[in-house]
Chain A
């Protein structure tokens, strides 16, 4: 389990429920590495500022990631951790690979999710 203050997505059922629920969500799929830790920090920081959006992490090497996020067409071609996906209205509305700043994440949330 990732050592963050985010809620964790730990099963495929949880992920599918999030997706089919149609709500707004951001999921950071990574490890406890130097490019991932900053993005978890950004999401933790933004949790209170975007109350309509649920923020999660997911362990990149866990079965749940192999069965869900790593299979998404939106992340094929990504060669950099973490994979971050944004959900809204029952679909993936955006995905990024690699480290992202708070400003970049806010821009995505404002443009694609909110």
Chain B
């Protein structure tokens, strides 16, 4: 494989693939890398109902189309590419990838997306796939006729709580605050479902069990009392954090670890741009990631044109 590229895009979700489509059409030699499967969070989305121009479809279907579009305009797309190190400081950006080698380009676009937020409890790790799950559509049927909990208070938590009642005997929604962040319609749907109950103002302190999960222990934030909820399953929907831990000291991040950019999605490092859920922004949707990918690619193309002009002068 070639080692020299015009642009290296790190992240192959909606933002990264969109950037690739624009770059490829502009005939820029583009490598798109992803540490996991191509598609990012989109591929984890069972149904996408708000992507304009596309009737409700699986996230994986949109991923497949976007990938084909990117490859169709000449991009090389590489999944399961673990980035071991980056040096973005000079005019030639260097990206080292496990098993694949070292690649260079004058421009890098960071589109590393987000990763599911974890509670960070030692017992959370212990019961992963032994009762703790992050995907209702994948694992819901393991809990047929059982009591389970959903942890979180946003739209995903409330919607998945309702969908899990298809299988479970009861679904207890555990939330750390009094009010839900979810939209009122999502709360109303959950409230009217007889299998759903609510435990609010609760901080999760432990997942308990032997070989698999049997209970979730929480602390009531009003009284300090410990509450034990018997459950063989716990589904966590507590949001996402930017996948930027490895970029500390490489580009400017804010206090939440989000990449700081200007309006044209330039970072504080010349020739390095950022797009999608990893950067500072309020709304994180497939549509906003696509918009970011477009802007970052067009800015990158303009930057490459400036470099070519400077070299020719």
Contacts and interface: CB of A to CB of B under 8 A. Distances in A.
B102 interface: no
A34 to B, nearest CB: 4
A25 to B, nearest CB: 20
A101 B143 CA distance: 25
Nearest to A43: B80
Contacts of B263: none
Interface in A24-48: 31-38, 41-42, 45
A36 B128 CA distance: 15
A97 to B, nearest CB: 3
B24 interface: no
The size bracket of the interface on B is 20 to 34
Nearest to A38: B37
A80 interface: yes
A96 interface: yes
Contacts of B143: 79
Nearest to A39: B37
A35 B46 CA distance: 11
A32 B138 CA distance: 9
Interface stretch (B86-94, B129-137, B190-198): B129-137
B139 interface: yes
Interface in B15-47: 35-38, 43-46
A81 interface: yes
B138 A79 contact: no
A34 B137 contact: yes
B142 interface: yes
A98 B232 CA distance: 16
Interface string B202-236: 00000000011100000000000000000011000
Given A41-B38, A41-B79, A79-B129, 10 more contacts: A33-B137, A34-B138, A35-B44, A35-B139, A37-B43, A37-B60, A41-B80, A77-B130, A79-B133, A80-B128
10 contacts: A33-B138, A34-B43, A34-B60, A34-B137, A79-B139, A79-B212, A80-B129, A80-B139, A98-B129, A101-B36
Interface of A: 31-38, 41-42, 45, 49, 76-81, 96-98, 101-103
